[in-house]
Every structure is written in structure tokens, then in C-alpha cells.
């Protein structure tokens, strides 16, 4: 359950690649050698690892369209663990190498295989794999922060702190923790007298007024085809994020989620490890198995002892009967122009008060837009001819009728070709909706301020909030072929 080596690589879309940090854990390597015996493959030097890793990730030789080592169809890219084929004197296969990549960073580690090397054990038998994944994700989070693209200076300064961070979280190759965001933890105040042990995931103690902040955020995704043969799809998932400032070594807080009387049960509930106990009924509902109609539907109690930093207390998915906005999109080619017709309908159960609501209509694989003669019944339309994009800003409210339309004609006669997308050819086109509605959830799930219990001596202030936002909300042109086959939508 240890890692043999760790690498952090930065790149710009496969260019300017460099290893920014690396660490080998010699004692783990020593164990690896004992465990694997003669089949042991030593970790090669940085440059070799880099080359092999890039090849395996499909990032090497970006100027060549086909490189057998990289593009071979036998390649087992479907596993989370890569194989690095080391050539030369230390010939052999380094496995399992985990790599996660986000933005400009690739983080990789080589896990210890604490099992007989032959036959190769399944990944599921190696605890080091899930440990490695957790460590890498933690480091990624630490380096990139919540935003995906930190400036290079911030990244460099965080990289510079890695040696001392690793001393805390992974001194000898066995991951102990993931680094905390923000500045390195200040030395903790020693625990006052008492027998209660301080949790290892709590770096210090809060002093002062108790404040508990619970934010519930739901995200809705949708694929609407407007076709008889193809079922429209949508799903909702929610997260409950907490920030608790409560005194005590191990204070108790309980957050309760409730559903309206006819609400469909929350599914696939995942909880933060600080949750102390769970009722089995909370976990039963699953999105992949709808047979259980008589499922438990709340209230969902989550007793926990909070860490100091904000954390995601739990997440769930939910199946709501209707999408918040139902749309239809029709395109027709008419001689040299495209007839566009859009209709969007806000469902009556959704509060008509948006933080923002926009519909984007991109047109791919065509010449640049020429004349755009499009009318909207509400909101305003921006035309971005360079990007072949119509942005329809609906603002804060739908009209009373809760229905808006867009009609018109577009010619594509510009001098240069517009943007391309292999997915959206000819009449295969979509509208993508971006919206956020404060203070509602689609599932009806809510956290009542009074249901939050804090077992502490001081009176506490409790703040709750909720909101709904869209993500990957597509409405496909019903006159073209949508690029998805039948079946459930899983983005």
C-alpha cells in the first residue's frame, strides 16, 4: 500500500513538457525488489519515465499521425493503471503506473505490488492503487486549487513547498494524508487536558463563535432530442457543502436533508468520512436500479464531526419527473440559408427567477455567418460571427407564459470557414443552455436551518442556502441525427 515513485509533470497540450517534481521512495523500492524477485524492474531515470509516460498517455510525437507504440489498437487504455515498457538494460514493464491529468499538470505514481508478481494480480487486489489515486488527487487539488488554471507563479510556489508537504503526507512512500489547501498548517495548539483524542484530519481547534454554513447545490444535465424514437434524458445530482466553525476537539453536528412529501428518494448517496454513522436505509436507493419504489425518502440524517476546512458532506443523485426547461430545436436547410426555430419552456414547478440564463447556438463545419435575420420573443441576442455562435441571453426571468421562441434565417457566406467539430456535421447541431436558479432544488431537497443541530455549549449561527445550476444541458436539432444511440444518458 505504498508508492515507489512520484512524478509531477507540466505541459502545454503536449508541448514544453518537463518534470517539475519527482520523488523516489527508496525503501519502498527495496520492498518492491524483495517482492518481485528476479522479475523486478527498477524505476528508470526521469527522462526515460517522461518519454514512456507521454507515449502511454498519447501525448508524445504530436506531429505524427500514427506511432505504433502510442496508437496501437491493442493498447489497454481502458485501465486506470498504465504500463511503461522500459527498454534497454533494465528491460521490463513498470506497472501499475497511475496518472491523472488536469489542465497543465500530469501527476503520476508507480504503486507497489504487494502480491506475487506472476500471474499479474488484478488492480482490485492492490490497496496501493486506491491509495495512489487518493494521493494523486489530493496533490492535484493542492497544486491547482479549486480553479483549474492557476498562474504559473502560484503553481511554482506550491511546487516549491512540496518537499515539506510530502514530509507530512507521504514521508516514506506510504501515503498518510492529502495536503490541505492553502498555506501549510500551522503547528497545532496542543490539546487541552481531556481524554478525547484529536482526529488526525483536524489540524487545530476553532476558538470563537460557532458558525455552521450548509450549502446545497443541485446540478441538472439534459439531452433533449425532440424525437419520437429517442427518449429525452435528464438527471440531477446534488452536493451538500459545509463549513463549520465549532469549538471542541470532536464536536457533534447533525445535518438533516428533507424531501417534499411526494419527492423521489435521494440515490447514490456518498458521504464524507467525517460522518460518524449512517442508517442503512439512507444508502439503499440507487440510480442504476429503479425497481425499489418503496424506498426510504427521508429525512436523511448525517451526524458528523466537522473538520476545520470546508468539505463536501454528502452528494446524491435524484430522478425528477421533468426537466426544468423543455426545449425544441429545428433547423432546415433552405437553399443557401438555414432556417432556425427554437422554443424553450420553463416548467411550472421551477421558480422563475434566474441568476442568469443563456442559450448558446453554435454552428460548426460551415462557412462563417453572413446575414443573420433572427428574432427572439424575449431576452436579447448576440451574434458572434467569428465563432459562428448565437448567444441568446434570457436574463433573470422568462415571460409570464414561461415560454420563449427564437425564429429566423442565417446564411453562411463568410470568406473563411468557421469552427469545426467532428460531432456536429450537417444538421447535427445543438443548443446548450447555461442557467443558475438561486434558492431552489429540482429534487425538492432542502436543509432546514432548524434541522441543523450543533451539540456545543455556545449558541451557534446557522446559515443554509441552495441553488440549481445547469451543466451539459443540450437540446439537439430534431431534424438531424443526434450523435447518441438509444440508451440511458451517461455523460
Partner 1 sequence: MAVNWADRVSAFSRSPSRFLSGTTAEAFLAELLRELRDDRASDSVKVLLVSPLCEHPTLLCPSDSEGEETALELMSVFAQCPAKSVQLRCHLLLALASVLVCSSCVSVRSPASRDFLDLLLQVSQDTGDLHGDGALLSLRATACDCLRELEACSPGLLSQHLELFGGLRQRESSRFHQAYAGLHSLVLRNAVYQLTQETGAGAEQLKALLGGNTSVAWEADQDSGPTNNTDSTVLSSLILGPMGTVPSLQTGPDCKELRSILSSLLEESYLLTPLCQAALLHRLTEVVAMVPGVPPAIFRAQLLRLLGTSKVCLLHTTLLMKCAFTDSLFSAEDEAFIVKRLVALSQHPLLTDPEKLFYMDCILHFPENRPIGCGDGDETLPVLLTPRLAAALLPTVFNDSATMLARLNLLSLVYLEEGEEGEGGEGRGLAYLYEHLMSLLRIVESGGSRETVVAFFRASFLFLWHFYHMECYTSSLVEKLCELYLRHSQLAPHLIGLADHTQDRLCESNWAEGLLKALQRVITDVPLAQLTSQDLRSHLKTLARVAEEGKIAQRSTLHFLSSIIAPSSSLCVSGDWRLGNSVLAVCRRLLVHPSLDSLLVPLADILQHLACRYGDTDVQDHARLYYALLTTLSQEKLAGVLAQGATEGGRQVKKRSLSSIVADSEGLTSMLTIHQTERAIFSVVEMNPELRRDTQADKESDLNQSEAGECPDEASAALEAYRSQFDDPDFASEITLSYQLAHAQDPDPRFDQLFSIRLHFSLTDDHYEALSDISVPCLFRERPPPAVQLRLKPRRPHPTTLRASAIFTTQDGLSWHTVLPAIRVAFQQAFMPLPAPPAWRRGGKLNLFEGLWDELCSESGECAASLFCCQLKEAALIGLVEKHFLPYLISDWSRKEEFKVLFFLPPQSHVLLKIRSEEDAVHFDVATDNWQLLSHISSYLLTITSSQEDTHS
Site for partner 1 in 54-93 (CB under 8 A): 58, 65-66, 68, 70-75, 77-80
CA end-to-end span of the chain: 32
Under rule CB under 8 A, which residues in 230-259 are in contact with partner 1? 235, 237, 239, 250
Instruction: Print the binding letters for residues 11-30 with partner 1: x by CB under 8 A, - otherwise.
Output: --------x--xxxxxx-xx
**DSSP character at residue 449:** G
Instruction: Print the binding letters for residues 195-234 with partner 1: x by CB under 8 A, - otherwise.
Output: xxxxxxxxx---------------x-x-------------
| Residue of 312, 299, 215, 240 lying closest to 272 (CA atoms) | 312
Considering the rule CB under 8 A, would residue 176 count as an interface residue with partner 1?
yes
Query: SS3 helix, strand, coil % of the chain, rounded to 5?
Result: 15, 40, 45
Helices (H), 44-172: 46-56, 68-71, 127-144, 152-160, 162-169
Considering the rule CB under 8 A, would residue 417 count as an interface residue with partner 1?
no
Under rule CB under 8 A, which residues in 115-174 are in contact with partner 1? 115-116, 119-127, 129-131, 133-137, 163-164, 167-168, 171-174
Stretch that binds partner 1, among 209-217, 287-295, 375-383, 431-439 (CB under 8 A): 287-295
Q: 464: phi > 0 → left, psi -120 to 50 → alpha, else beta; which?
A: beta
Considering the rule CB under 8 A, would residue 287 count as an interface residue with partner 1?
yes
Nearest to partner 1 of 281, 396 (CB atom): 281
Under rule CB under 8 A, which residues in 427-486 are in contact with partner 1? 483-486
Under rule CB under 8 A, which residues in 304-363 are in contact with partner 1? 312, 314-315, 317
Q: Least distance in Å: CB of 170 to partner 1?
A: 9
SS3 of 107, please? strand
Considering the rule CB under 8 A, would residue 296 count as an interface residue with partner 1?
no
Q: Least distance in Å: CB of 100 to partner 1?
A: 5
Q: Which three cell numbers stand for residue 330?
A: 429545428
Under rule CB under 8 A, which residues in 390-409 are in contact with partner 1? none
State the helix-helix crossing angle for 152-160 and 127-144, rounded to 10 degrees. Answer: 130
Nearest to partner 1 of 7, 398 (CB atom): 7
In sequence order, which residues have a C-beta less than 8 Å from that of residue 233 and are 6 or more positions away?
Answer: 222, 223, 224, 488, 489
Considering the rule CB under 8 A, would residue 295 count as an interface residue with partner 1?
no
* Residues 19-26: contacts with CB under 8 Å, at least 24 apart: 19/46, 19/49, 19/50, 20/159, 21/159, 21/162, 22/46, 22/49, 23/166, 25/172, 25/173
Stretch that binds partner 1, among 262-270, 378-386, 411-419, 443-451 (CB under 8 A): 262-270
Q: Least distance in Å: CB of 85 to partner 1?
A: 12
Considering the rule CB under 8 A, would residue 289 count as an interface residue with partner 1?
yes
Q: Least distance in Å: CB of 185 to partner 1?
A: 10
- Sole binder of partner 1 in the list 425, 451, 453, 456 (CB under 8 A): 425
Considering the rule CB under 8 A, would residue 189 count as an interface residue with partner 1?
yes
Nearest to partner 1 of 206, 409 (CB atom): 206
Q: Tell how strand 92-102 and strand 105-111 pair up.
A: antiparallel
Nearest to partner 1 of 283, 391 (CB atom): 283
CA–CA separation, 198 vs 189, rounded Å?
11
Stretch that binds partner 1, among 111-119, 210-218, 329-337, 438-446 (CB under 8 A): 111-119
Using an 8 Å Cβ cutoff, are 410 and 336 in contact?
no
- Sole binder of partner 1 in the list 284, 343, 393, 453 (CB under 8 A): 284
Considering the rule CB under 8 A, would residue 273 count as an interface residue with partner 1?
yes
Q: Least distance in Å: CB of 328 to partner 1?
A: 21
Using an 8 Å Cβ cutoff, are 364 and 388 in contact?
yes
Q: Least distance in Å: CB of 446 to partner 1?
A: 20
CA–CA separation, 76 vs 82, rounded Å?
8
CA–CA separation, 72 vs 458, rounded Å?
64
By CB under 8 A, how many residues form the interface with partner 1? Answer: 126
In sequence order, which residues have a C-beta less than 8 Å from that of residue 167 and are 6 or more positions away?
Answer: none
Cis bond before residue 160 (omega within 30° of 0):
no
- Sole binder of partner 1 in the list 17, 46, 83, 92 (CB under 8 A): 46
Q: Which three cell numbers stand for residue 43?
A: 524505476
- Sole binder of partner 1 in the list 267, 318, 470, 477 (CB under 8 A): 267
CA–CA separation, 411 vs 373, rounded Å?
9
Q: Is 45 exposed, middle or buried (0-12, 13-18, 19+ CB in 10 A)?
A: exposed
Amino acid at each position: 500500500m505504498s508508492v515507489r515513485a512520484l512524478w509531477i509533470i507540466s505541459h502545454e497540450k503536449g508541448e514544453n513538457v518537463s518534470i517539475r517534481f519527482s520523488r523516489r521512495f527508496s525503501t519502498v523500492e527495496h520492498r518492491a525488489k524483495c517482492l518481485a524477485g528476479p522479475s523486478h524492474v527498477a524505476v528508470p531515470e526521469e527522462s526515460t519515465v517522461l518519454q514512456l509516460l507521454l507515449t502511454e498517455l498519447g501525448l508524445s510525437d504530436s506531429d505524427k499521425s500514427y506511432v505504433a507504440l502510442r496508437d496501437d489498437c491493442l493498447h489497454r487504455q481502458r485501465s486506470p493503471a498504465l504500463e511503461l515498457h522500459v527498454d534497454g538494460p533494465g528491460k521490463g514493464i513498470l506497472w501499475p503506473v497511475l496518472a491523472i491529468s488536469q489542465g497543465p499538470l500530469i501527476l503520476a505514481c508507480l504503486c507497489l505490488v504487494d502480491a506475487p508478481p506472476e500471474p499479474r494480480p488484478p488492480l482490485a487486489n492492490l490497496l496501493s492503487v486506491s491509495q495512489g489515486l487518493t494521493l494523486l488527487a489530493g496533490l492535484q487539488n493542492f497544486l491547482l486549487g479549486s480553479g483549474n488554471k492557476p498562474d504559473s507563479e502560484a503553481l511554482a510556489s506550491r511546487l516549491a513547498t512540496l518537499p515539506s508537504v510530502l514530509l507530512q503526507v507521504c514521508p516514506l512512500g506510504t501515503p498518510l494524508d492529502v495536503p490541505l489547501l492553502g498555506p501549510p498548517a500551522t503547528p497545532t495548539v496542543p490539546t487541552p487536558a481531556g481524554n478525547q483524542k484529536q482526529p488526525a484530519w483536524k489540524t487545530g481547534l476553532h476558538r470563537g463563535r460557532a458558525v455552521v454554513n450548509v450549502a446545497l447545490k443541485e446540478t441538472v444535465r439534459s439531452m433533449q432530442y425532440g424525437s419520437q424514437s429517442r427518449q429525452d434524458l435528464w438527471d440531477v445530482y446534488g452536493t451538500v457543502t459545509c463549513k463549520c466553525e465549532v469549538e471542541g476537539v470532536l464536536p457533534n453536528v447533525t445535518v438533516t436533508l428533507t424531501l417534499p412529501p411526494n419527492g423521489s428518494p435521494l440515490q447514490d448517496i456518498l458521504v464524507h468520512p467525517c460522518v460518524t454513522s449512517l442508517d442503512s436505509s439512507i444508502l439503499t436507493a440507487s440510480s442504476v436500479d429503479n425497481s425499489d419504489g418503496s424506498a426510504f425518502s427521508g429525512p436523511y440524517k448525517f451526524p458528523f464531526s466537522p473538520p476545520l476546512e470546508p468539505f463536501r458532506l454528502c452528494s446524491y443523485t435524484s430522478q425528477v419527473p421533468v426537466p426544468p426547461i423543455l426545449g425544441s430545436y429545428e433547423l432546415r436547410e433552405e437553399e443557401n440559408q438555414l432556417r432556425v426555430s427554437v422554443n424553450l419552456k420553463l416548467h411550472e414547478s421551477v421558480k422563475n427567477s434566474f441568476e442568469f440564463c443563456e442559450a448558446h447556438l453554435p454552428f460548426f463545419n460551415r462557412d462563417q455567418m453572413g446575414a443573420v435575420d433572427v428574432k427572439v420573443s424575449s431576452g436579447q441576442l448576440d451574434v458572434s460571427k467569428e465563432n459562428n455562435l448565437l448567444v441568446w441571453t434570457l436574463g433573470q426571468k422568462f415571460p409570464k407564459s414561461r415560454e420563449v421562441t427564437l425564429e429566423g434565417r442565417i446564411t453562411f457566406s463568410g470568406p473563411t470557414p468557421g469552427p469545426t467539430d467532428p460531432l456536429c456535421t450537417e444538421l447535427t447541431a445543438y443548443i446548450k443552455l447555461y442557467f443558475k436558479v438561486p434558492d431552489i432544488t429540482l429534487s425538492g431537497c432542502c436543509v432546514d436551518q432548524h434541522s441543523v443541530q450543533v451539540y456545543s455549549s455556545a449558541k451557534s449561527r446557522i446559515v443554509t442556502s441552495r441553488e440549481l445550476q445547469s451543466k451539459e444541458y443540450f437540446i439537439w436539432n430534431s431534424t438531424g441525427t443526434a450523435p447518441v444511440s438509444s440508451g440511458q444518458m451517461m455523460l
